[in-house]
């Protein structure tokens, strides 16, 4: 087996023949390029031409062995370690590549559930396609009346021969309007306790009876959707795990989702931390004692989150499952976004809310209005606190409503 350095050199050599290098200084030049400060979501993938460029690059990676580096070789993976994945991500950041956020749900959340709980047929049909970019997935989990109680869902699936008939509604389904399949969690046995009567399915989103309505958010984006099911038929062969075992499968998704959410953005985008530090420099506030104190706090929490991520990655590389540490990292990350947004607002004042055309000012409003979406994704902040208190600290469970 090659060393991590040899692997990095090989990956760098491959990428250099297909995509241009990313200028190191480009993201640090104030006033040049886009001044968007990304927190969550984008309308970029709604453009079919832009989406096709992203998919073509994903196919290029997969067809040359870099699409699923830690995945099993029988499904198109390299069979290497999560450490190799991290090394490749660092190398990838050196190049000007299309944004890969379109595949976060598919690769980071749906794929782990299929790999751990799906049968051989399901794995063969989905895993390679997901990591090659041929299959884009959305999550059909949250419901309007269930709130943070995912197991309280009301969407039903009733067995009818080799099919299940689905009726109900889901909401906050990222990219459902452009996805091929939805990771559906439905109630298949209402006679047992709520966590035991659930089943997960891979539902083709072009199935008759599926209606998808994009939701316009306050930041102007519409990657979230509400999805309605009216006598929708899904094959029995598309279930992930046995009927009634959906809660086990969804836990795998949720543990990975919290890790993915806390690692959003990545090194290929300008980080909010970089941008707020530069904002303070441009405004001549780096000597102000209050601003310096706030910047120090932002920097320290960035380092804490980085070290927690490294610990998680080391645990996964050692063969351990993701545990409550994912909730800790995710909660710290969403809190950090609020901290950065508040500091930017204090520095800019009215310039954040009125578009004067000045570079690097009004763009922060998109960050501020987009960040709350991550407080919901992967489980609300309140759910993360319950997970930490009960699973990590061993405190008593929160009383269930009667």
Task: Please give the structure tokens belonging to residue 164.
Answer: 């299940």
Reading the block at residue 198, the tokens are 């659930």
Distance CA 362, CA 219 (A): 12
* DSSP-derived secondary structure letter, 350: G
List, in order of start, the domains of the chain with CATH numbers. 137-243 (2.40.110.10), 270-392 (1.20.140.10)
Within 8 A by CB and 6+ apart from 244, the residues are 188, 189, 192, 196, 197, 198, 199
The token duo for 298 is 């932002």
Annotate 217-270 with DSSP letters as a single string.
Answer: -TTS----EEEEEEEEEEEGGGEESSTTBHHHHHHHHHHHHHHHHHT-S-TTS-
The token pair that represents 390 in the structure block: 């009960």
Copy the structure tokens of residue 184. Answer: 């559906």
Mean pLDDT by 10 residues, the chain (402 residues): 88 95 65 74 74 95 95 94 88 89 91 96 97 96 80 93 97 92 96 92 98 86 90 98 93 70 49 92 94 96 89 74 76 91 93 88 87 73 80 79 52
Selecting among 163, 257, 274, 346, the annotated active-site residue is 257
Residue 85 and residue 5 in contact, taking contact as beta carbons nearer than 8 Å: no
Phi/psi for 278 (5° steps) reads -65, -35
Give the per-residue pLDDT at 348.
Answer: 94
- The secondary element (H helix, E strand) that includes residue 347 is helix 325-348
Is the pTM of the predicted complex or chain greater than 0.95? no
**257 an active-site residue?**
yes
Q: What is the pLDDT of residue 181?
A: 98
Whole-number Å distance between alpha carbons of 231 and 207: 10
């Amino acid at each position: 087996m090659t060393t991590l350095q040899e692997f990095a050199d090989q990956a760098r050599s491959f990428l250099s023949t297909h995509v241009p290098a990313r200028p190191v200084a480009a993201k640090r030049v104030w006033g040049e390029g886009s001044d968007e400060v990304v927190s969550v979501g984008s309308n970029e993938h709604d453009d079919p031409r832009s989406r096709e460029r992203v998919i073509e690059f994903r196919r290029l990676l997969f067809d040359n062995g870099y699409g699923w580096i830690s995945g099993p070789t029988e499904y198109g993976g390299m069979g290497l370690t999560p450490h190799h994945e991290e090394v490749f991500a660092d190398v990838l950041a050196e190049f000007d590549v299309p944004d890969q956020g379109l595949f976060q749900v598919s690769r980071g959340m749906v794929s782990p559930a299929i790999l751990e709980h799906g049968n051989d047929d399901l794995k063969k049909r989905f895993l390679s396609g997901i990591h090659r970019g041929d299959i884009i997935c959305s999550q059909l989990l949250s419901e309007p009346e269930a709130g943070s109680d995912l197991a309280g869902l009301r969407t039903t699936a009733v067995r009818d021969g080799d099919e299940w008939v689905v009726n109900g509604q889901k909401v906050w389904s990222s990219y459902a309007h452009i996805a091929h399949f939805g990771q559906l969690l439905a109630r298949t046995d209402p006679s047992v306790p709520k966590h035991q009567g659930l089943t997960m399915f891979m539902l083709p989103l072009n199935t008759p009876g599926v209606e998808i309505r994009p939701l316009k958010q306050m930041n102007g984006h519409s990657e979230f959707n509400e999805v309605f099911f009216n006598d929708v038929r899904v094959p029995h062969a598309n279930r992930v795990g046995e009927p009634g075992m959906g809660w086990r499968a969804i836990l795998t998704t949720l543990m990975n989702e919290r890790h993915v959410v806390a690692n959003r953005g990545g090194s290929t985008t300008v980080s909010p931390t970089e941008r707020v530090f530069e904002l303070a420099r441009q405004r001549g506030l780096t000597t102000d004692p209050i601003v310096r104190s706030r910047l120090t706090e932002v920097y320290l929490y960035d380092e804490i989150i980085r070290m927690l991520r490294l610990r998680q990655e080391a645990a996964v590389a050692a063969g351990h499952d993701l545990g409550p540490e994912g909730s800790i990292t995710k909660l710290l990350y969403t809190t950090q976004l609020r901290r950065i947004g508040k500091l930017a607002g204090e520095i800019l004042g009215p310039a954040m809310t009125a578009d004067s055309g000045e570079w690097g000012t009004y763009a922060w409003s998109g960050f501020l209005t987009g960040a709350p979406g991550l407080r919901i994704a992967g489980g609300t902040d309140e759910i993360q606190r319950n997970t930490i208190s009960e699973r990590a600290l061993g405190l008593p469970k929160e009383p269930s409503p009667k």
